[in-house]
Chain A
């Protein structure tokens, strides 16, 4: 731990950075994941991955399918255990953070409870945590994702985009220290997706929270994150890193600016390169 602090204190951003951004929060140290297919056969999904995520930083994990980004995300979320190496979130094992109810999660499949209305679904984390429901907080979140008018609607009565917004509201209701997003807009059409990205960016900028996003869309990664980690498959590992220096708040105009487009282009070029080597090997 002491060593870890020294490293970060010695970083060149010691001057006057937004202090909230520069505190390391997630520490991933030599993490590997091996899946056993049968008694003698196995596949190494992830090999020796190490990186840090700072407090209130928004990090996007990108890479070709099968590079293990979802597996890594599941391990950060405490849903899975590494075969080797250590993951620490705020000095704790990810499962301890879960036990403290400090994690929020939204996935491609919304995972809303069909028997609960919007209010019930957003209140669910309170119930599951054994906390008294704070109706004002629930109301505030529904307003934040612009679903106040639908507070008594059930998931089946909502559109795809609304369901995703509702599941993001549910993920944020307990003000988590860590937000896990796995392709939250992956099932939406391109237009809705751009809108949702703008919304998520707006919501996130109001209260920055350490966030790890897995996505296939490089535009989405650049638009939302502070830093992009690119992974390559066979075996899965982090191969490149791209800081995203675009100022916030970002709007749909941002996504047409030159800086944005050139960053998307260079990330895309790198991904294409990885995929090409993958196909040739």
Chain B
């Protein structure tokens, strides 16, 4: 019953948001650059327009997924390394913080000339994902209680066995939180990377629509970016639910 109530509240919120957007655009309260939602849907109603956006959203989606994958892997590897070799941890942590502190926008041109235009979106997506996953993994690995750790030591576990059978399973909820954060960061990173002069992707559309004052296209691209993030979020939530049903 509570679920239904929460769900209907959620729907009501979405409806209010859509209505507010529509009315604001229709009345022109925020100027000509804020179109009503219906005109964006009108724009998308034409097959070539829709195809253009779907194709480029697909490119961004692939970039984001690759970035999420690489970023997660790197973050996880660094966290595991930091756990297995405790001496390395302070250095790794400083390194990760340092990389995260670099403004990605400054890294863009650097990446273009090093890894090339094609790989820049994936590289930036990777960089934006790895830190949040690294932090989530480190905090997850340390989720066990002192007693659980003592018991593990007394049973004579090696560091690896400790990680494999105690610390990693204990980290799972945090890892999924890290993935969720990573999903939105990956889309953002991919778009930013495409912005710097990739051949295709939502980032490219955003830049060209902005420069050519194609308001509907600009908003459509933003909408598709949002849809990508939501899709990623929903996918990870579903995997999480399936995982917890199966193992927890």
Contacts and interface: CB of A to CB of B under 8 A. Distances in A.
A103 B145 contact: no
B145 A111 contact: yes
Contact of A129 (B147, B157, B170): B157
A104 B248 CA distance: 26
Given A113-B166, A127-B161, A77 B154 contact: yes
Contact of B156 (A115, A116, A128): A128
The SS class assigned to the B binding surface is helix
Contacts of B157: 128-129
Interface residues of A, number: 27
Contacts of B247: 115
B108 to A, nearest CB: 42
Given A115-B248, A128-B162, A98 B170 contact: no
Interface residues of B, number: 21
A40 to B, nearest CB: 27
A130 interface: yes
A135 to B, nearest CB: 17
Interface string A165-181: 00000100010000010
A180 B170 CA distance: 25
B150 A79 contact: yes
A86 to B, nearest CB: 20
**Which one of B153, B156, B169 has the greatest number of beta carbons of chain A within 10 Å?**
B156
Nearest to A100: B156
Contacts of A170: 151
Contacts of A233: none
A79 B170 contact: no
22 contacts: A79-B154, A98-B155, A98-B156, A101-B156, A103-B155, A105-B151, A105-B155, A107-B151, A109-B145, A109-B147, A110-B147, A111-B147, A115-B172, A116-B169, A124-B165, A124-B166, A127-B161, A127-B165, A128-B152, A129-B155, A130-B161, A174-B155
Interface of A: 77-79, 98-105, 107, 109-111, 113, 115-116, 124-125, 127-130, 170, 174, 180
The 9 closest A-B pairs by CB, nearest first: A128-B157, A111-B147, A101-B156, A111-B151, A105-B154, A109-B147, A128-B155, A125-B155, A111-B148
Given A101-B156, A110-B147, A128-B156, 8 more contacts: A78-B154, A99-B156, A100-B156, A101-B155, A115-B172, A124-B155, A127-B165, A174-B155
